[in-house]
Amino acid sequence: MAESLVDVLLKGSSGQNTRGLLKVIILVTISAAAVSSRLFSVIRFESIIHEFDPWFNFRATKYLVQNGFYDFWDWFDDRTWHPLGRVTGGTLYPGLMVTSGVIYHILRFLTIPVDIRNICVLLAPGFSGLTALAMYLLTNEMSSSPSAGLLAAAFMGITPGYISRSVAGSYDNEAIAIFLLVFTFFLWIKAVKIGSIMWGALTALFYGYMVSAWGGYVFITNLIPLHVFVLLCMGRYSSRLYISYTTWYALGTLASMQIPFVGFLPIRNSDHMSALGVFGLLQLVAFAEFVRGFIPGKQFQRLLTASIILTAGLAFVGLVVLTMSGVIAPWSGRFYSLWDTGYAKIHIPIIASVSEHQPTAWPSFFFDLNFLIWLFPAGVYMCFRDLKDEHVFVIIYSVLASYFAGVMVRLMLTLTPIVCVAAALVLSYILDTYLKITPGPVTRGNLEVDTSSGLRSARNPEVGITSYFSKAATTSSIIVYLLLFVAHCTWVTSNAYSSPSVVLASRMPDGSQFIIDDYREAYYWLRQNTPANAKIMSWWDYGYQIGGMADRPTLVDNNTWNNTHIATVGKAMSSREEVSYPILRQHDVDYVLVVFGGLLGYSGDDINKFLWMVRIAEGIWPDEVKERDFFTARGEYRVDDQATPTMRNSLMYKMSYHNYNKLFPMGQATDRVRGAKLPAESPQLSTLEEAFTSENWIIRIYKVKDLDNFGRDHSNAVAFDKGNKRKKANKKKGARILRSE
């Protein structure tokens, strides 16, 4: 009876319905798993925005929700980059904020009052569920097997490479951009396959959304033309290709130009020139195809060669002339650093100083992708087996994304989708081969009429696995791998990617959890105890957090467009007090905030980042700040009593270690990050005074003193306050200084 029930459910039209239902249920489950596996941090800590950039996005979203879209569009933010301010509305990708704003207003319309913070926190998990669905659609286009899409969706749902950027609270552009990336690619494949203007236009629409959401849209801008170009080179020109590409390019470029931050870049920037070039090439090829219908073969060949050489030459000369004359912007530094990994360190230290711009260490491939990484090449190989247009796309994407992921850690994110696709293709093939319970050898080709050639054995090949043992062995090992994958993903997500980094967690000796909440303690101190207009100087890493949590104007923040301004802060931090003080005064700085991990052994502190400040400052003032001066004669970077005088007189060093020795018995002060024993006496600060130090000394805040009331040096004033008698200044040294009015 059960047998027949299964038969009823799985065969015929009701079988299709059953499969459809099952697919829906599986996809919903996958989405639910994708969302729930990202909630570790909310459950462990609280519903809080993570890290650095999300704090800016959160602040911008709040502004959008409070002031409406047009005010957001024209937003001039006077609380960052003091005193320059930031034309924020025109220098951000608004997609993320607008998305959460729209969700917020829809929920309000449905009379569901939800705090905007909760929408922001949960946006990334929500969109990761959608990404899984988009992944299902994309992979389905690649394979005829029904299981490939589901596998890819499941992989995408839980792979750490994507979770790393989309846990709850990680309210960053990537949160929605990866969904848009995958979905745009799906639409593009669909458009190429069908050759329909509608799908091409939909691609352009989602491409426009992608442009509004993330700077990584350039990846699409270059990948799709490359796909078209490769197809053209393979001689696969078709009207489908022409229709989909021209539709996408024309509409997509127009859509992308609507974003103020992008503006005219698509026609003026080198990064976008390949799309334009391929667009032109496609017109030429289409024209050539058209002409071929009228002219006999040999003449046509000659005409074609001549015209191709001519146009290519003209186009190249035009490009060079336009670039030389400055109409087309040259390649940006970030682009160069993609090809030459050492470029950024020499020319643009600001880019190299970001940890996520470092080259990837090889274990992180396994860490982020687990067994997918070794299925990935097999999947690419599978694409070569039936090389349709969409498979060419997978291959190109794989090659490019693999390279980029090797250059920069953060580009692991763009590699992840294609790895999921490729791995799903392989795995579904294996499962299809081994999991089917067929009674005997499947014979293929016996229905074909073609018997004119070939060997007899090849004419009637026996393909398929018949042994139940090998089926069971392979299937079970695959299942073990899958289970291990799930276990690995859960473990990585829970341990590596679910820390808000605003709140640190550590273990006490007895195993209980110890929450270190110094960041918020200090930011709330600033919020409560300083005037609303007090300017806070800190290294740029903390700019967004100060803006978001302390609501105070900052000098520099994580939007690193103004290298000079950042270098100014670097110079103030790395110079002597006498040099720094005028800089602080000129920029109206009221408080200086430093992060110091020496007491707790927190290694991400400012002394460890200090060399970047020095390097960035040296890039602008090579005569005044020299990196060499911060190293000892033997080339060591030290903070103990062997430290160089430049190091010990730098503002950063003084602020970090000011009064630190008072925590320890005489002469026992140790820095637990660098394992260094500190000099017995504390550095003396005269132009700043300590205002606040957090519980674990992670954040130290200093107040900048006003000018001395009697026009003295601060060091003299401090000495006077301590009761030291001043020595006579001009004691018969050189000519007498005469006073004249």
Contacts of 327 (CB under 8 A, 6+ apart): 268
Cis ω for the linkage preceding 83 (within 30 of 0)? yes
Is residue 76 a contact residue for other proteins (CB under 8 A)?
yes
State the nearest-atom distance from the C-beta of 711 to other proteins, in Å: 5
Is residue 739 a contact residue for other proteins (CB under 8 A)?
yes
Q: Which of residues 497-526 bind other proteins (CB under 8 A)?
A: none
What distance in Å separates the CA atoms of residue 289 and residue 312, rounded to the nearest whole number?
17
Please report how the helices 146-158 and 468-495 are oriented relative to each other, as an axis angle in degrees rounded to 10: 30
Choices 23-31, 82-90, 245-253, 679-687 (CB under 8 A): range interacting with other proteins: 82-90
What distance in Å separates the CA atoms of residue 250 and residue 509, rounded to the nearest whole number?
63
Picking from 360, 359, 362, 387, the residue whose alpha carbon sits closest to that of residue 373 is: 362
What distance in Å separates the CA atoms of residue 389 and residue 434, rounded to the nearest whole number?
28
Considering only 85, 215, 318, 622, the residue that binds other proteins (CB under 8 A) is: 85
Pattern of binders to other proteins over 28-67, x per CB under 8 A?
A: ----------------------------------------
Where does residue 73 rank: exposed (0-12), middle (13-18), buried (19+ CB within 10 A)?
middle
Query: Exposure pattern of 97-124 as b/e (b: 16+ CB <10 Å)?
Result: bbbbbebbeeeeeeeeeeebbebbbbbb
Q: Phi then psi for 515, rounded to 5 degrees?
A: -95, 130
Is residue 435 a contact residue for other proteins (CB under 8 A)?
no
Nearer to other proteins, 490 or 716 (CB): 716
Considering only 23, 26, 69, 90, the residue that binds other proteins (CB under 8 A) is: 90
Nearer to other proteins, 70 or 294 (CB): 70
State the nearest-atom distance from the C-beta of 593 to other proteins, in Å: 19
Choices 41-49, 291-299, 669-677, 713-721 (CB under 8 A): range interacting with other proteins: 713-721
State the nearest-atom distance from the C-beta of 576 to other proteins, in Å: 22
Pattern of binders to other proteins over 596-625, x per CB under 8 A?
A: ------------------------------
Considering only 721, 733, 734, 735, the residue that binds other proteins (CB under 8 A) is: 721
Is residue 385 a contact residue for other proteins (CB under 8 A)?
no
Is residue 737 a contact residue for other proteins (CB under 8 A)?
yes
CA 108 to chain centre: 31
Considering only 83, 318, 342, 667, the residue that binds other proteins (CB under 8 A) is: 83
**Which residue's entry shows tokens 């270059």?**
222
Is residue 723 a contact residue for other proteins (CB under 8 A)?
yes
**HEC letters along 93-157:** CCHHHHHHHHHHHHHHHCCCCCCHHHHHHHHHHHHHHHHHHHHHHHHHHHCCCHHHHHHHHHHHH
State the nearest-atom distance from the C-beta of 85 to other proteins, in Å: 5
Considering only 82, 357, 609, 714, the residue that binds other proteins (CB under 8 A) is: 82
State the nearest-atom distance from the C-beta of 712 to other proteins, in Å: 6
Nearer to other proteins, 79 or 615 (CB): 79
Contacts of 228 (CB under 8 A, 6+ apart): 241, 245, 278, 282
- Three-class secondary structure of residue 529 per DSSP: helix
Choices 275-283, 393-401, 658-666, 724-732 (CB under 8 A): range interacting with other proteins: 724-732
Considering only 529, 586, 603, 668, the residue that binds other proteins (CB under 8 A) is: 586
Is residue 709 a contact residue for other proteins (CB under 8 A)?
yes
Q: Phi then psi for 536, rounded to 5 degrees?
A: -110, 125
Nearer to other proteins, 79 or 488 (CB): 79
Q: Are the CB atoms for 494 and 505 separated by under 8 Å?
A: no
Query: Exposure pattern of 315-334 as b/e (b: 16+ CB <10 Å)?
Result: eeeeeeeeeeeeebeeeeeb
State the nearest-atom distance from the C-beta of 157 to other proteins, in Å: 40
Nearer to other proteins, 82 or 165 (CB): 82
State the nearest-atom distance from the C-beta of 730 to other proteins, in Å: 8
Total site size for other proteins, rule CB under 8 A:
36
Is residue 741 a contact residue for other proteins (CB under 8 A)?
yes
Q: Which of residues 251-310 bind other proteins (CB under 8 A)?
A: 260
Considering only 623, 728, 733, 735, the residue that binds other proteins (CB under 8 A) is: 728
Q: Quote the DSSP letter at residue 541.
A: G
Nearer to other proteins, 554 or 575 (CB): 554
Is residue 710 a contact residue for other proteins (CB under 8 A)?
yes
Q: Which two tokens stand for residue 550?
A: 């302390």
Q: % helix / strand / coil in the chain, to the nearest 5?
A: 60, 5, 30
Q: Phi then psi for 77, rounded to 5 degrees?
A: -95, 110
Considering only 25, 43, 84, 472, the residue that binds other proteins (CB under 8 A) is: 84
Is residue 87 a contact residue for other proteins (CB under 8 A)?
yes
Q: How far is the CA of 231 from the CAs of 202, 242, 250, 427, in angstroms?
A: 21, 11, 20, 27
What sign has the CA pseudo-torsion 290, 291, 297, 303?
negative
Rule CB under 8 A: which residues touch other proteins? 70, 73-74, 76, 78, 82-85, 87, 90, 260, 533, 553, 586-587, 706-712, 716, 720-721, 723, 725-726, 728-729, 736-739, 741
